[in-house]
Structure 1
């Protein structure tokens, strides 16, 4: 398989948990702006986004250093979204603390209305609900998504962003780029093995996954010690191996 692959080489968070103030947690909720997914976090039991990320979603985000002020308005540009991986977490991994938000002296305005904002690692973060000043904001409990709609902007077809991130060692799951059913997962001596229906995997999809891994800092190894029916990745102390076991496609994380 090695040769085979080398050819292509917010808002309405429903929760009963009580969290400490300003803790940033993983969430299985994803927000969409005109059906373009955007990364979110759980902040104080609300869905939050980075203000700077909104630049690719039909908004102007202007910084006034003298006044220490951020202004968010609608731009005259259409929505492009981002090529970065958009993470949402499996329910079993949702709610884990990843960092802390701090209060900030920066004042943020959405369409001229002052809104609550926070500082996370030097970046301004706002609640998705604040965007109601410029767009409609709705909650879809079945899909667990926050839908933000800007009528004047381009709309794309809705594509569900699956649960796709192994929280333990920060590995994007195969579901990121492949519409495939996970048929099982099991612990092994040195990590986890996720199993998929290998009969529904295509070269183009695997190539997209290889690109996604590279975008997330993993190196695709061209190692003679790696069997020909495997593709191996490395990032720091972590390794990921993609291989076939009969008709089952396996993703081993260690």
Structure 2
């Protein structure tokens, strides 16, 4: 049923695509967006962080589409399983570049019963974080370049908060591995050895190894042991995949070839992708939900 809904929503958003731009732009951003401590793919919409409506379905929200009224209703479900997927890495020199323009959409979006404006970006419906900030929990960390918003999780502090920071420091390097491997693959296709590129990739693998060595000595809070282990293996396989691609690059320089290396790299890459997404899914279950607020007994207060 979920797959059918996803396909239907995708078709819907494509049908809502217009050829008249509203003047807005989507820029490449280096700001990480978190919903209930889980990293969510995001966009810079004219200076504001935005997320795709259909992505929210994987982050604890129910999406209800009504074709007759062309409306989408989004509601938070605290019991829904979170199925996150790691955002894409962009190198520093690409930050601020325009990815594509935005277009008006005739789809009406309601978030927890409240109408929120939306835009069409490449056939997909997006909403700004500030417009879905119904609980006034939206916050920013300018130094870390992070935006976060909470709907059902309790605030973390102390060792728990430290673990979240450590978790995403490593996760960010794992995600970067995809970018570095694509660069090497492009070099291999061109057939021309790029010394500078290979130096950059070597720097990346050394940086990831250094993080992993520090992580070996790190003791995470007991409540986060499962996500910590899954994150570790995601990092291991990401580094294996990138080192294997690096070896393929060196073979290009030396004029040698080992066809098995690509097969090994592909397996390491797939394992890492699964493990990193699973690590975030496990993390979502490890973070305790916010305690429900106790209702105030107005009559008793009045009698007192």
Partner of 1:3: none
On the 8 A contact 1:89/1:165 being kept in 2, the answer is: no
- Where structure 1 has 5 or more consecutive residues not aligned to the other structure, the ranges are 1-19, 175-187, 213-223, 235-254
Q: Does 2:118 correspond to 1:108?
A: no
Post-superposition offset of 1:128? 1.2
Partner of 2:92: 91
- Given the alignment, which residue of 52, 55, 67 partners 1:53? 55
Q: Does 2:43 correspond to 1:36?
A: no
C-alpha distance after superposition, 1:162-198 (max 9, x if no partner)? 37777xxx94348xxxxxxxxxxxxx64872222328
Post-superposition offset of 1:89? 2.8
- SS of structure 2 residue aligned to 1:146: strand
| Residues 116-131 of structure 1: pairs in structure 2 closer than 5 A | 116-131=117-132
Once superposed, what is the RMSD of the aligned Cα atoms? 3.9
Higher helix share: 2
Post-superposition offset of 1:90? 3.6
- Would the alpha carbon gap of residues 47 and 88 (structure 1) be closer, same or farther in structure 2, given more than 3 Å must change? farther
Partner of 1:63: 65
- Paired residues, number: 189
- Would the alpha carbon gap of residues 131 and 34 (structure 1) be closer, same or farther in structure 2, given more than 3 Å must change? same
In the alignment, the residues of structure 2 paired with residue 144 and residue 226 of structure 1 have an alpha-carbon distance, to the nearest angstrom, of 42
Partner of 2:172: 162
| Residues 2-41 of structure 1: pairs in structure 2 closer than 5 A | 21-41=23-43
Taking structure 1 as the reference length, the TM-score comes to: 0.60
Higher strand share: 1
- Would the alpha carbon gap of residues 147 and 199 (structure 1) be closer, same or farther in structure 2, given more than 3 Å must change? closer
Q: In terms of Rg, which structure is larger?
A: 2
- Would the alpha carbon gap of residues 125 and 92 (structure 1) be closer, same or farther in structure 2, given more than 3 Å must change? same
C-alpha distance after superposition, 1:87-120 (max 9, x if no partner)? 2434322111222221101111112221110112
Taking structure 2 as the reference length, the TM-score comes to: 0.51
- Would the alpha carbon gap of residues 72 and 232 (structure 1) be closer, same or farther in structure 2, given more than 3 Å must change? same
In the alignment, the residues of structure 2 paired with residue 211 and residue 72 of structure 1 have an alpha-carbon distance, to the nearest angstrom, of 38
- Where structure 2 has 5 or more consecutive residues not aligned to the other structure, the ranges are 1-21, 182-192, 214-231, 243-255, 267-304
In the alignment, the residues of structure 2 paired with residue 90 and residue 60 of structure 1 have an alpha-carbon distance, to the nearest angstrom, of 33
